[in-house]
Amino acid sequence: MSFKDLIVGDHRNPREEIVAIFGEHQGADDPQAIARATTWAQGVLNTAGIPADKQVEAIAEIRRAEPRLGLKSATHLASLLKK
């Protein structure tokens, strides 16, 4: 995250960031990358023993496991796991 993002806010699209990290260059909204990220995040939470409905703990653990994820992206992943 840049200094500018800290000042004016992070306006990145969380799905695009997730695809950039978990995708295989399939485009900005690759459903397979989102599925891979969701499966990965569920595994992270299972290993840590954190239920997906404990949002704050889930988001923190997801970000701890993958520091490149911004807060919005980790929150988006955690919300996908709650469904």
Report the distance separating Cα 29 and Cα 20, nearest Å.
Answer: 9
Q: pLDDT (tens digit, 9 = 90+) per residue, 16-75?
A: 999 999 987 666 678 899 999 999 999 999 999 999 999 999 999 999 999 999 999 999
All residues at 6 or more sequence positions from 59 whose CB lies less than 8 Å from its CB, including other chains: 71, 74, 75, 78
Amino acid at 56: V
Say whether pLDDT at 6 is over 90.
Answer: no
CA gap 62, 50 in Å, rounded: 10
Please state the domain extents for the chain.
13-82
The burial of 8, by beta-carbon neighbours within 10 Å (0-12 exposed, 13-18 middle, 19 or more buried), is given as: exposed
